[in-house]
Amino acid sequence: MSCELPQVSTEIIIKKSRKEHKCCECYKVVPKGSSYQNISGIWAGEGATYKTCLDCMRLRNWACIQFKIGYLDDTGPGFGNLNEWLRDWDVDPEHQRQILKGEKEQCNSKEKEDDQKKTKK
């Protein structure tokens, strides 16, 4: 499953929510005060904004690296279609959980390294 590219430049930023949002991929609630990815642009002549929880953002990032596609590449997963796109590539939900676990462990270890470097200074 491929996606439609935005017609007008897209802004991709990480925000801290001022209210609850629903992830466009997994439909879980992003609680008030939590970080999420906010993507906005114009697709098919219509303005749209997609809010993605950080776990789904990590899965999309992993998919882009693993399958060598650009973040907004027309062969990549369209917003709201990440899970279906991953299933089409035989990445089942258990594998997705393992990917997220590995991504979080990698982030935690990098944060510990950064903290150790700061304390040595």
Rounded to two decimals, the pTM is 0.72
Residues 82, 56: contact at Cβ < 8 Å? yes
Domain limits of the chain? 8-120
The residues near 80 (Cβ < 8 Å, ≥ 6 apart) are 24, 25, 50
In this predicted structure, what is the pLDDT of residue 117? 53
Q: Which parts of the chain have pLDDT scores under 70? A: 1-9, 103-121
Q: Which CATH architecture has domain 8-120?
A: 2-Layer Sandwich (3.30)
In this predicted structure, what is the pLDDT of residue 13? 85
In this predicted structure, what is the pLDDT of residue 1? 44
Q: Which of 76, 34, 70 is nearest to 52 (CA)?
A: 34
In this predicted structure, what is the pLDDT of residue 113? 57
